[in-house]
């Protein structure tokens, strides 16, 4: 009997060890990037951009596939209903911190608004929504995020492969180790969360120290956000959005827009749409619908609202930025 029990215990231990080995093997396999895709990418970078093959191979030997990145990108906050999304970003704490950030960087923000025409509160709100004013810039190594999405997310593989290329070029230009840079699950970096292509195209040296640093330099971050908005068509002094105060009973038949202004305001007026302000009849607007807790909420977005969506292609994001910006400005002015 003792021998039987001993044999059973031995078999159980062996089974447990075998299971552990299989689990470890599966984890190791999951952490591996697609080697053939990586090799092809390296060859392209060597041929087209003059990288050293041995250096790139070393980087990708250290890079890891992260399932959590795939999980995150398939369930972004922007898929939430508006009434839940708003509670994440338009908060008392974030508005209060925005006022503090404005006070701390008042001169730089004033310079940016004067040079680029972008309101201070919009710049502050962008940085507040993106990273809580630089406090949370991301936990993933950017190379892991971009490699995972470039080689294991077919839906947007071309985009992330291009961003991976841009990131490696950026790291070389900035003389930084690409393995040392952390960011979001989508590879956005620094205080304003620029993706690599935006960093290379829109980031500026706003403090004239001969280095463009969005990772640790608030002055460059502020100037770069303002430059990004101007380059995407921000219209100084023009409104962003209007609340709709009255909708016709047949509102479901009206033409909607996901983001871009696509209809003259006069056409909506004729249908019975009223807003909390005045607008030239020939102004192009977007009729936007948001999911409120007690039913749909409607807004008219203008060109400047569309510009905010060039930072993040979500109407929820743009409305959150706008509302946070208004709250920050109101609080800031009340303290003056």
**Token pair 């706008």: residue:** 322
Give the E-state strand segments of the chain in sequence order: 140-141, 182-183, 241-246, 263-264, 274-275, 284-292, 295-301
CB atoms within 10 A of CB 46: 16
For residue 83 the two structure tokens come to 């009434």
CB atoms within 10 A of CB 29: 9
**Distance separating alpha carbons of residues 277 and 73, to the nearest angstrom:** 38
For residue 169 the two structure tokens come to 């070029």
Query: Under DSSP, is residue 194 helix (H, G, I), strand (E, B) or coil?
Result: strand
Q: Between the CA atoms of 67, 69, 74 and 76, what dihedral angle is there, to the nearest 10 degrees?
A: 150
**Distance separating alpha carbons of residues 283 and 330, to the nearest angstrom:** 27
29 is catalytic: no
Query: Under DSSP, is residue 284 helix (H, G, I), strand (E, B) or coil?
Result: strand
Annotate 184-213 with b (16+ C-beta within 10 A) or e (fewer).
bbbbbbbbbbbbbbbbbebbbebbeeeebb
CA distances from 138 to 111, 132, 142 (A): 28, 11, 9
Which of the following is catalytic: 113, 115, 121, 130?
130
Query: Which amino acids are annotated catalytic?
Result: 130
């Amino acid at each position: 009997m003792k021998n039987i029990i001993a044999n059973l215990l031995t078999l159980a231990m062996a089974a447990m060890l075998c299971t552990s080995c299989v689990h470890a093997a599966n984890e190791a396999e999951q952490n591996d990037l697609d080697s053939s895709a990586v090799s092809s990418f390296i060859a392209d970078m060597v041929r087209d951009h003059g990288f050293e093959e041995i250096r790139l191979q070393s980087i990708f030997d250290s890079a890891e596939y992260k399932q959590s990145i795939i999980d995150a990108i398939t369930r972004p906050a922007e898929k939430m209903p508006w009434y839940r999304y708003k509670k994440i970003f338009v908060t008392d704490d974030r508005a209060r911190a925005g006022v503090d950030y404005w006070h701390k960087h008042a001169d730089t923000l004033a310079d940016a608004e004067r040079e680029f025409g972008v309101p201070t509160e919009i710049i502050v709100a962008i940085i507040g929504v993106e990273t809580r004013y630089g406090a949370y810039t991301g936990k993933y190594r950017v190379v892991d995020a971009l490699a995972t999405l470039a080689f294991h997310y077919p839906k947007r593989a071309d985009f992330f492969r291009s961003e991976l290329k841009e990131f490696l070029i950026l790291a070389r230009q900035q003389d930084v180790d690409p393995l040392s840079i952390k960011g979001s699950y989508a590879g956005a970096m620094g205080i304003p969360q620029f993706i690599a292509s935006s960093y290379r195209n829109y980031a500026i040296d706003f403090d004239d120290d001969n280095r463009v640093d969005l990772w640790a330099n608030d002055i460059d971050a502020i100037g770069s956000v303002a430059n990004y908005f101007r380059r995407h068509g921000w219209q100084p002094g023009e409104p962003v959005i209007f609340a709709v105060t009255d909708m016709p009973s047949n509102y479901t038949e009206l033409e909607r827009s996901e983001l871009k202004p696509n209809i003259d305001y006069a056409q909506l007026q004729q249908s019975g749409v009223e807003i909390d302000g005045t607008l030239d009849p020939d102004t192009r607007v977007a009729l936007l619908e948001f999911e409120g807790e007690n039913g749909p909420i409607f807004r008219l977005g203008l060109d400047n609202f569309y510009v905010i969506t060039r930072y993040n292609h979500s109407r929820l994001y743009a409305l959150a930025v706008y509302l946070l910006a208004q709250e920050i400005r109101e609080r800031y002015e009340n303290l003056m």
